[in-house]
Amino acid sequence: MAQAEFVVVANRLPVDRVDGPDGEPAWRRSPGGLVTALEPVMREAHGAWVGWPGQADLEVEPFEFEGTDLVPVMLTADDVELYYEGFSNDTIWPLYHDVIAAPRYRRVWWDAYVRVNRRFAEAAAAAAAHEATVWVQDYQLQLVPQMLREARPDLTIGYFHHIPFPAYGLYSQLPWRRQVLEGLLGADVIGFQRVADAGNFARAVRRQLRYETRASGIRVPQSDGTSRTALAKAFPISIDAQSYADLAARPDIQARASEIRESLGNPRRILLGVDRLDYTKGIRHRLKAYGELVEDGRISVEEVTLVQVASPSRERVEAYVQLRDEIELMVTRINGDYDTLGHSAIRYLHQGYPREEMVALYLAADVMLVTALRDGMNLVAKEYAATRIDNRGTLVLSEFAGAADELGTSLRVNPHDIDALKETIMRAIEMTPAEQGRRMRAMRRKVLEGDVAAWSKSFLSALDATRENS
């Protein structure tokens, strides 16, 4: 396989392993927007993507898929337990989401994180042509930028952080706080979702490493006594908005939306939540607010149904096992107390769905509830806006989701404040079509203009500019 001018490094490959028609394993493109966004860049630059195929102990040779060279990185069952479930999802994930769940600091997890980050860095170094651009993605790989720079000083290295970067007072809990900052600073451009995340990062660098920062620039001393400037800046990610609008225009999907409403007994209002089953998403707060509104008699289950799609995620990590139990207990209690024979209060679906079905659900929903306690961006909010080509529907959006910075005409709410959440839900339920239209139009415009292609373009041009300056 030839070396590539453009290399993406991410924890996961952009494909899922599925059973082919003849029972043989085959590969199918993953649903994520990042994959779609990068496809043209990949094709044009003869790109390569380095990542884990998603199963333990699976050894796969590099192969080509839809114009991209895929370079699989093997993880053993131990690596999955210590690097992925442990350090990535039981240390960094909760710490970076404001310790909503308690992070666990285990030295064997850190050792595995270093070891696996090195494996990704080596695979990327081998895949990259001379003076290539390498773009590292997300919190599972924070040490890769510096490891790559040491191995391959000729490369231009970008890093994008898809999740929040916490305030210094929390970040400083991390026993390996210096190593992680140094790892990230190996990149020429370090991208964040929100301006506040980039600010938190710069502050951590000042406090921990005593490096000088000015505007978005961080002066990073080099071993030869010189210094280089790394850029730490916000580049809010988005979705391939037009493809959502196109699906929403399809008659079969619109018919499916009516069918969904019908199957729920044609309630006056449908409320919808769509999340990975994760404690950062504020699902319990949402259920609590809805349950109290029914209890208070302000809504009835005949009139207002809540559909909650919670897709299975990280099912072997203890905090996720516990959360699932709590949510399912809450749903059962609320339904047990308030269901009628004909109507369910909450339709709870612990499943993932294809994009077509999600768009039909978005079209069927009068009120979209995004009540995350902390979220890097929250693309569901943007998907809902992109889908509502009829300019109807209301988005209730947590202040603690990155999307709140951009979607200023959503109904923003502090999900910790259950009374405020209840009032906001009522306001959404009662909102006039004219007001829905005004708010939705502005959100749709924002999402269509700032789509994921614009996001990757602006990140990659910032990265290109650092190459020209050096």
Nearest CA to 401 among 232, 273, 282? 282
Nearer to ligand G6P, 180 or 294 (CB): 180
Nearer to ligand G6P, 293 or 401 (CB): 401
Euclidean distance between CA atoms 368 and 371, whole angstroms: 10
In angstroms, give the least distance from the CB of 314 to ligand G6P.
Answer: 5
By CB under 6 A, the count of residues binding ligand G6P is 6
What residues form DSSP beta bridges with 306?
A: 271, 346
CA distances from 222 to 75, 113, 156 (A): 33, 25, 16
Candidates 314, 347, 422, 439: give the one binding ligand G6P (CB under 6 A): 314
Structural tokens at position 367 = 């009120």
The interface with ligand G6P within residues 268-307 (CB under 6 A) comprises: none
Nearer to ligand G6P, 38 or 248 (CB): 38
Nearer to ligand G6P, 80 or 220 (CB): 80
Euclidean distance between CA atoms 34 and 30, whole angstroms: 10
In angstroms, give the least distance from the CB of 311 to ligand G6P.
Answer: 10
Return the ∠ at Cα 169 (arms to 320 and 420), rounded to 5°.
60
Nearer to ligand G6P, 52 or 290 (CB): 52
Q: How many CA atoms lie within 13 A of 73 on its CB side?
A: 28
Nearer to ligand G6P, 162 or 374 (CB): 162
In angstroms, give the least distance from the CB of 223 to ligand G6P.
Answer: 31
In angstroms, give the least distance from the CB of 415 to ligand G6P.
Answer: 19
Provide the greatest CA pair distance for the chain: 75
What residues form DSSP beta bridges with 16?
A: 28
CA distances from 269 to 125, 262, 432 (A): 53, 12, 13
Question: Are residues 348 and 328 in contact, defined by beta-carbon separation less than 8 angstroms?
Answer: yes
In angstroms, give the least distance from the CB of 276 to ligand G6P.
Answer: 6
In angstroms, give the least distance from the CB of 88 to ligand G6P.
Answer: 7
Nearer to ligand G6P, 248 or 372 (CB): 372
Nearest CA to 33 among 361, 459, 379, 356? 379
Euclidean distance between CA atoms 276 and 136, whole angstroms: 23
Residue number closest to ligand G6P, CB atom: 162
Structural tokens at position 377 = 């961006």
Contact letters for ligand G6P, residues 122-151 (x by CB under 6 A): ----------------x-------------
Nearer to ligand G6P, 230 or 377 (CB): 377
State yes or no: residue 377 binds ligand G6P (CB under 6 A). no
State yes or no: residue 313 binds ligand G6P (CB under 6 A). yes
Contact residues for 263 (Cβ-Cβ < 8 A; gap 6+): none
DSSP E strands, 138-216: 156-160, 189-192, 213-214
State yes or no: residue 414 binds ligand G6P (CB under 6 A). no
Nearest CA to 240 among 160, 135, 355, 136? 355
Cβ neighbours, 10 Å, residue 405: 15
The interface with ligand G6P within residues 57-86 (CB under 6 A) comprises: none
Return the ∠ at Cα 315 (arms to 273 and 176), rounded to 5°.
100
Q: What is the residue type of 459?
A: F
Nearer to ligand G6P, 134 or 431 (CB): 134
Nearer to ligand G6P, 142 or 216 (CB): 142
Nearer to ligand G6P, 270 or 377 (CB): 377
Candidates 7, 8, 12, 358: give the one binding ligand G6P (CB under 6 A): 12
DSSP E strands, 256-392: 269-276, 304-311, 346-349, 367-370
In angstroms, give the least distance from the CB of 442 to ligand G6P.
Answer: 26
In angstroms, give the least distance from the CB of 203 to ligand G6P.
Answer: 22
Report the C-alpha dihedral over residues 13, 361, 437, 372, rounded to 10 degrees: -60
In angstroms, give the least distance from the CB of 313 to ligand G6P.
Answer: 6
Report the C-alpha dihedral over residues 114, 116, 120, 126, rounded to 10 degrees: 90
Nearer to ligand G6P, 52 or 168 (CB): 52
In angstroms, give the least distance from the CB of 93 to ligand G6P.
Answer: 8
State yes or no: residue 30 binds ligand G6P (CB under 6 A). no
In angstroms, give the least distance from the CB of 210 to ligand G6P.
Answer: 30
State yes or no: residue 162 binds ligand G6P (CB under 6 A). yes
State yes or no: residue 163 binds ligand G6P (CB under 6 A). yes
What residues form DSSP beta bridges with 217?
A: 214, 231
In angstroms, give the least distance from the CB of 251 to ligand G6P.
Answer: 32
Q: What is the residue type of 312?
A: P
State yes or no: residue 55 binds ligand G6P (CB under 6 A). no
Q: What is the residue type of 468?
A: E
Residue ranges binding ligand G6P (CB under 6 A)? 12, 138, 162-163, 313-314
